[in-house]
Amino acid sequence: MEPLPNSRAEPDGSATIRVLSYNIRSMRDDTDALARVIRACAPDLVLIQEAPRFFRWRKKLARLAHAADLVMVTGGATTTGPAILSNLRATVERTEDVLLPPTPGLHRRGLATAVVRFGGVRLGVISCHLSLDKDERYTQGGMLLDRLAAMGVTHTVVGGDVNERPEGPTFRRLAGDLQDCHTVARWGGTDTWTSADPYQRIDAVFVTQGVEVLGCGVPLGAPGVTEADLRAATDHMPVLAALKIPAQ
C-alpha cells in the first residue's frame, strides 16, 4: 500500500494535511492501543465520535490527546460525544459546540465545530455522530449541511459516524453536496464496523468542493498501525484522509 502524503506547506501557498475520523466508544477499550493508532496515523486533526461524556470526561480526553501528541480543541460532553483534537500545526480561530434538537426517547446528538488555520489556509471542521433512527438521521444530515454553509469558510472537512451505509438516503444527501473522500481517492481499507470483523462502511470523511483528496480509507497496513491495536482500541475502524487545501 502506498503511503499517504505527509503534512506540509506547499510552495503555492496551499497546505497538505491529514485528517482522522474515529469513533472511540467513550474510551472503554484499550486506551494505549487507541493512542498508538492515532499517533501512528500522524494526523493534523482528529474528528472524534463517542468521546467520554461523564465523570472526569475532560481529563480522560486530555489524557488521550497528550498520549497521541495532540491537544484538545473542542467538544466532548458538551456535544454529547463529538470532539476535535489537533496538533500544534493548527491555529484555532474559533470553536462552537452545537446541540441538535432532541427527539424524545432518543440519544441527543451534537456537532463539534471549529475554524482552524494551517499557515495561510483557513479550514472549517465538523465532527458528527448521526442518529440511529433513519428519519432523525436524515433531518440531522440537513442540519449539518446548513451549519456547514453558515460557517462562512470556503473549505470545510466533515468527519463522522454516519450510522448508515453509502447507499442510504442520509449518506447520499451528504455525498451529494460534499465529496465522499474514500470514493474520490480510495486508499487503504473500506469497511469501518466492527473493528473485530469489518463488514460495512458507516464512518466517513467528507470535504467541500475545491479540496483535493489525495487518499482516504481505513489505515490497514499503514506504518505503525497494527491489526491487533485496531481491534483492541474500539469497536470502529478509523478513517484517515490526506487533503490538499487550496491557498486563499
How many independent structural domains does the chain possess? 1
Q: What is the pLDDT of residue 236?
A: 98
3-state secondary structure of 82: coil
Is the model's pLDDT at 2 over the cut of 90?
A: no
5 found inside a domain: no
Torsional class of 228: left (φ above 0), alpha (ψ -120 to 50), beta (otherwise): alpha
d(CA 37, CA 39): 6
The sign of the torsion formed by the CA atoms of 36, 40, 46, 50 equals: negative
- Beta strand pairing status for 110-118 and 91-99? antiparallel
Q: Identify the bridge partners of residue 110 per DSSP, sorted by sequence position.
A: 99
- What distances in angstroms separate CA 63 from CA 25, 166, 195, one per listed residue? 15, 34, 23
25 found inside a domain: yes
**For the chain, percent helix, then strand, then coil, each to nearest 5?**
25, 35, 40
Q: What is the pLDDT of residue 170?
A: 98
133 found inside a domain: yes
- What's the pLDDT tens digit per position in 221-230? 999 999 999 9
Name which of 11, 18, 3, 41 is nearest 244 in CA terms: 18
Q: What is the pLDDT of residue 197?
A: 97
124 found inside a domain: yes
- What's the pLDDT tens digit per position in 160-202? 999 999 999 999 999 999 999 999 999 999 999 999 999 999 9
134-150 vs 169-177: helix axis angle to the nearest 10? 10
Full domain range(s) for residue 104 = 10-245
196 found inside a domain: yes
2 found inside a domain: no
- How far does Cα 229 stand from its chain's mean position? 19
d(CA 188, CA 173): 24
Is the model's pLDDT at 248 over the cut of 90?
A: no
71 found inside a domain: yes
Is the model's pLDDT at 1 over the cut of 90?
A: no
- What's the pLDDT tens digit per position in 142-166? 999 999 999 999 999 999 999 999 9
Name which of 28, 26, 3 is nearest 16 in CA terms: 3
CATH code: domain of residue 58? 3.60.10.10
CB 130 within 8 A of CB 137: yes
Ranges assigned E (strand) in the chain: 8-9, 15-23, 45-49, 71-75, 83-86, 91-99, 110-118, 121-129, 156-161, 179-180, 203-207, 212-217, 239-245
1 found inside a domain: no
